[in-house]
């Protein structure tokens, strides 16, 4: 009946952050929301690091990014452009500030709830396409900032790892600093990775220039 949800262990969040961004593909983001269980397969993610001009933590600890400096395996959720929520999984030990931004999911469970949360989106594959869209679809808000992803109600659970031949590594989306760092990963075959995001060329192609 229901999917079996086993949280990723703390060790997952202690591996190097760029590895974690690669390995999080195929894992499951699940939220036991007030409306019911919603879950999706992670198909796009980016790494943000302490020494990284594009990271919110680059200039040190602030009120907004506090949970980035907190314990690994917890959520860092922030509001962008005054409108949209985005969710990260915090990596590295407490006191450091790395995180993995979750950028897209393939809906698995609670699709009718996602549709209720995003009534204008008719394409199921696009319900959770984009970091703000997926938070909107699942009902994730800043109220969950700092939440423990290993104990719920918001968790990242073990899924089917994405094989290398189906993973593409590129530069990150929507940033103005450190644009050259290839810290974004996505599942090539997924219909939930947005068109705009697909337009980024794989590094192998870029290097040919």
**Where along the sequence are the contacts to DNA (CB under 7 A)?**
46, 48, 54-57, 59-60, 62-65, 68, 76, 79-84, 86, 88, 99, 101, 118, 120-121, 130-133, 172-177, 194
Closer residue to DNA (CB): 116 or 160 = 116
Tell me how far, at minimum, the Cβ of 186 lies from DNA, in Å: 13
Least distance (Å) from DNA to the CB of residue 157?
20
> Quick one: 1 or 63, whose CB is closer to DNA?
63
In the complex with DNA, which residue's Cβ is closer, 34 or 60?
Answer: 60
Closest CB to DNA among 2 and 60?
60
Q: How far is the CB of 150 from DNA (least distance, A)?
A: 19
Tell me, letter by letter, the H, E, C secondary structure of the chain.
Answer: CCCCCCECCHHHHHCCHHHHHHHCCCCEEEEEECCEEEEEEEEEEEEECCCCCCCCCCCCCCCCCHHHHCCCCEEEEEEECCCEEEEEEEECCECECEEEEEEEEEEEECHHHHHHHCCCCCCHHHCCECHHHHHHHHCCCHHHCCCECCCCCEEEECCCCCCHHHEEEECCCCCCCCCCCCCEEEECCCCCCCHHHHCCCCHHHHHCC
- Nearest distance in Å: CB 6, DNA: 25
């Amino acid at each position: 009946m229901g999917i079996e949800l086993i949280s990723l262990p703390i060790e997952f969040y202690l591996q190097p952050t760029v590895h974690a961004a690669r390995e999080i593909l195929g894992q499951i983001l699940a939220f036991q929301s007030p409306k019911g269980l919603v879950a999706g397969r992670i198909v796009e993610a980016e790494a943000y690091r302490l020494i990284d001009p594009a990271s919110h933590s680059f200039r040190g600890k602030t009120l907004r990014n506090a949970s980035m400096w907190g314990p690994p395996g917890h959520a860092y959720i922030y509001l962008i452009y005054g409108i949209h929520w985005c969710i990260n999984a915090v990596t590295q030990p407490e006191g450091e500030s790395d995180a993995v931004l979750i950028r897209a999911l393939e809906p698995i469970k609670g699709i009718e709830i996602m549709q209720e949360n995003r009534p204008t989106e008719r394409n199921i594959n696009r319900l959770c396409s984009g970091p703000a869209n997926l938070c909107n679809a699942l009902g994730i808000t800043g109220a969950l900032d700092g939440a423990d992803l290993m104990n719920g109600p918001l968790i990242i659970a073990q899924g089917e790892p994405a094989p290398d031949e189906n993973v593409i590594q590129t530069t990150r989306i929507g940033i103005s600093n450190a644009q050259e760092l290839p810290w974004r990963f996505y599942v090539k075959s997924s219909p939930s990775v947005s068109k705009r995001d697909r337009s980024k060329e794989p590094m192998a192609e870029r290097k040919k220039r």
